[in-house]
Amino acid sequence: MECAIEVIAEEGFAQASLAKIAQRAGVAKSVVSYHFANKDELVEQVLMAVSTASAEMLPERMAAAGTARDKLRVIIESLVEFIDSHRTYALAALEAANMRRSLPGRLQLVTDRKSGVGDDIQRLFVEGQENGEFGEFDSHVLGVMFGQAIEAVVLEAALDPDADLTAFAAELVAMFDRATRRETGRKS
C-alpha cells in the first residue's frame, strides 16, 4: 500500500500502473495483482488507507473538545497537520478521489452520498445549530465547502512544498468560525 501511495502521488493516478507499483515494491506484478484486482480496487484501498491514517489522531483530540466550535477547530487543525506531515498520502488520496469522480466512478459516489459516507462534518454543523452555537446556514452547502477547503490545502501542499500549512489552518479556522457564527445584529 505504501508503494502504491508513493507511485500515485509522484506520477498521478492515470500513470500509476500495477507494474510500476510492483517495481517500486521490488515484487512481481502478480503479487500486487493479488492485493488489488484492478485500479478501481486500488482507488478504494488508497482512500481507505489515507482516511484511516488521517483519522487516527482525531478521537483523543475530539474528546478534549467540548463545543461544536471547538470540535470544528480540532478537525481542521488535525486534518491540516496530517496533510502537512503526510503530503504524499494526501496527494495520493486527492489523485484517487479525482479518479473516483471519473464517469465509471460516479455511481459509487452517488451510492456513498445516499448512505451517509462523509456526513460527519455536516452532522457537526447541525449539532452546533441545534445547540445554539452556530447560526443559520445550509449545513449541506457548508459541508461541501469544507471538503473543498481541505482539498485546497492538499493542492497548496502539492504546489508549494514550503507552504506554511499551519497558517493555512489558522485561516480556515477563522473562515469557518465566521461562516458558522450567529448573527447578533445587523450593521446599517
DSSP letters of 51-83? HHHHHTTHHHHHHT--SHHHHHHHHHHHHHHHH
C-alpha span between 56 and 82 (Å, rounded): 10
In a domain, 187, yes or no: no
Give residue-wise pLDDT tens across range 43-62. 778 778 878 887 887 888 88
**21 has a pLDDT exceeding 90:** no
Burial 51-89 (b: 16+ CB within 10 A, else e): eeebeeebeebeeeeeebbebbbbbbbbbbbbbbebbbb
Range of the domain at 96: 2-180
In a domain, 66, yes or no: yes
Instruction: Report the CATH number at residue 102.
Output: 1.10.357.10
The number of residues in the chain equals: 188
In a domain, 31, yes or no: yes
In a domain, 50, yes or no: yes
Give residue-wise pLDDT tens across range 125-164. 999 999 999 999 999 999 999 999 998 998 898 889 899 9
**Three-state SS at 32:** helix
In a domain, 153, yes or no: yes
Domain count, the chain: 1
In a domain, 128, yes or no: yes
CA angle 42, 47, 53 (to 5 degrees): 125
